[in-house]
Structures are given as structure tokens and as C-alpha cells.
Structure 1
């Protein structure tokens, strides 16, 4: 059952992450770590370009928080986050200011959370508004506390999808608790 759910999460994340080309990702580095209940482990990202950070929790339930304004993001102060019960993923676009602070948070109900943090780069990523008047508008989207949106009028769809996703993840957590 866990294998099927892992495949489901991988499929959903790959289909939702259409802003970069996931077929050509280059693996940069993988960190293995542990974080205690209610604590953070921090990492600093200096790598330029379109960077994808993936957090795979081995035991417990670790969550991923990212900030370009602080090297120590928290669950209250962050720019991007991924807090699923599966593989967490964030996309850091070239327009986001470096260095980037990455925080891995250990869920409070698990005494010790072990994880692998993978860093990938998309060498074929194309800036959506290169050298145009809209470039500044796009860059301002990356400063908000959400995943940057592609060009177009998709903000309402993404917010609705996020609520549905949150409900779905909550349902899966309850299902896991009942089955285990």
C-alpha cells in the first residue's frame, strides 16, 4: 500500500511541477540527516539557476521550508514550503535572490525524523520573461509566500488546487493512522 501511495505522490508532483523540465534534471548532491521533534536542520543554497529541492522522509514526517530573506526559515517565516506526508519538493527559480536558506522541520509527533535532501538543477530551464518589461512583474511573484506562478491568469486555479491538495493530504494522514 505504501508503495502505491509513493507512486501516486511521485506522479502528482511530476505532473504539477511543469515550470521546469524534469526529464533533464541533473543531480547535484544528496544530504542524509536527522531532525528531532519540533526542531529544524538548516542548509544554505548558493547554487544559481533553476534548482529543485526534494525532501524524502525515511522515518517520521519531515517538512521543507525555504527562504531567500533568512538563512533560517521557520514554519512561521518562509518564502516557499512543502509539508506533505510524502516526498516534499520546492522549485527555486533563478530570479530568487541567493543565498537561500533551507529548513527541514521535524514533525512534533515523531521523536526522530530521518530524511534525504536531494538537490537537482534544470540546465534547460528557460526564463519566462527574458529581457522584457514583464520580467520585474514575474520576479515580484517569487517574493510572495507561495510557489511562483507561470505567465497567465492561473492564480485562482492554483489556490483552489492547494485547498484540495491539503484536504487530500489530511485524508491520507488519517488513513495511515487507521491502517498502521
Structure 2
């Protein structure tokens, strides 16, 4: 039985359409894998540790991007100081670029243009024998330059306010007599023990008491979003093969 030319044309057009669908599915799969790989390079770490009153726990971060640092006290009253260009920060004005010294959760945003490596110093207030804390560090993709400049200006104003507090020698917690003097001889450091330096992540130079959280653990593969995307694309690819 002879096959009609029109039927052959229809079959050819159908095969071409299926090939286009397969190409689109493969391109979408590649883009998904690339996006997931790029996101995996970002730093998002949670460290837990303790520091004695009047001492510093020092960390270092070399990854580029905007850095959001959140310090949550679990016990005592830890404060945070951040330095640039490899500086191990402390309470001196020329030894830190950003700071947060409240009596609660501390949060510092370091702009993208800050010189790496970033030094993060967690200070245990001398009013407590020791402080227990949770340090969360997240490095995000570069944001708008104007927004970064606004954040930097806000941090600079905070530094000016702190300088005024030192000069005024008030009764507050930042007076030179009651607070800074206790810290002048209290800084102690030991070799780094965290292995995050190979990936540009947060590294510790304050001893082995600080452990990094491995991040979210997926108890079931069905809960993993990329797995669901890949499974859907593979099913689509298989259905197209069956229709050829």
C-alpha cells in the first residue's frame, strides 16, 4: 500500500515539533542545573560558640558580595565588630568599620565594596562570665550600588555616635572607664580550626568551640525542590520519546 505524500509531510512536521519540544526541555534542564549550582556557591552558614567575658572570638570571611551578619545571644551579652581588609576587629575605632552593640540580637550589613577578607569579632561583655551565641552569616548576590551606599552611610553614622559616646565618658556601657579598659588586655586568639576557608566561607580563629551548621537536611527526596523539577522534566522527555 502506497503512503500518501501528504501523510509523510504530516509525520515529518510532527517529528520536527517533537524535536523542538525535546530541545526546549533539555535547555530548561540545563538552565535549572546551572542556577542551582550558582546558588550553591553562596555562603549561608550558622555557627554556634561561646566566648569568655572581656575576650573576642574572631572569624574571617573572604567571599565577595553583600554580607548579612546576625548574632543571636543564647546566654550572656555578646557584641559584634566587623573589620575590612583582613583586620581582626576590636572595640578601637580604627580597628573596626561596622558594629552592633545592643543588649539583644545584633545585626550588621556589610556592603559589597567592603575590602576582603572580612573580619568578624564577637565580644563577650565583661558583665557576664561568658556568653553563648549563634552567629548566622549570609553572603547574597550583589545588590544595587545606591542601596549599598545608603547602608554604608548609615553604618558610618553609627560609628560617629559610638565615638561621641566614648568621648563623653557617660555612665553607659561604652564609657572608657567601665567598658573599654576591661577589654584592653583581654583579647586572646588561637589558630584557625574551621575548614570553610577553602570555599571562601566563614573561618574561625578562636579555638574548637565553634561548630558550623551543615544547613538544612532533607529527610525525604520528595521535599527537595530541584529533585521535583528534574523529575518533571525527565517525565516530559520520556513522554515525548514514546510519541515519536
The two structures have a TM-score, normalised by structure 1, of 0.58
1:48 paired residue among 53, 60, 64: 64
Cross-structure match for 2:44: 28
For 1:17-75, what per-residue CA distance to the aligned partner results, in whole angstroms no more than 9, with x for missing partners? xxxxxxxxx87000001000100000001111111011011000000000004431111
Change (3 A) 1:113 1:128: same
Question: What is the alpha-carbon distance in structure 2 between the residues aligned to residue 55 and residue 27 of structure 1?
Answer: 16
1:106 paired residue among 124, 135, 140: 124
- 3-state secondary structure, aligned to 1:71: coil
Is 1:96 matched with 2:114? yes
C-alpha RMSD over aligned residues: 3.2
Is 1:119 matched with 2:137? yes
Is 1:148 matched with 2:152? yes
Decide whether the 8 Å contact of 2:86 with 2:116 is kept in 1.
Answer: no
Compare the two structures and name the one with the higher helix fraction: 2
- 3-state secondary structure, aligned to 1:33: strand
- 3-state secondary structure, aligned to 2:145: coil
Change (3 A) 1:129 1:40: closer
Question: What is the alpha-carbon distance in structure 2 between the residues aligned to residue 67 and residue 95 of structure 1?
Answer: 13
Q: Which of the pair has more CA radius of gyration?
A: 2
Cross-structure match for 1:10: none
* 1:165-176 map, 5 Å: none
Count of residue correspondences: 120
Structure 1: gaps spanning 5 or more residues? 1-25, 131-137, 142-146, 171-180
Deviation at 1:86, TM superposition (A): 1.1
Change (3 A) 1:101 1:85: same
For 1:90-137, what per-residue CA distance to the aligned partner results, in whole angstroms no more than 9, with x for missing partners? 11111011001110000001001000000123336222299xxxxxxx
After superposing on structure 2, the runs of 4+ consecutive aligned residues of structure 1 that deviate more than 3 Å are none
Compare the two structures and name the one with the higher strand fraction: 1
Question: What is the alpha-carbon distance in structure 2 between the residues aligned to residue 149 and residue 97 of structure 1?
Answer: 16
Question: What is the alpha-carbon distance in structure 2 between the residues aligned to residue 64 and residue 83 of structure 1?
Answer: 6
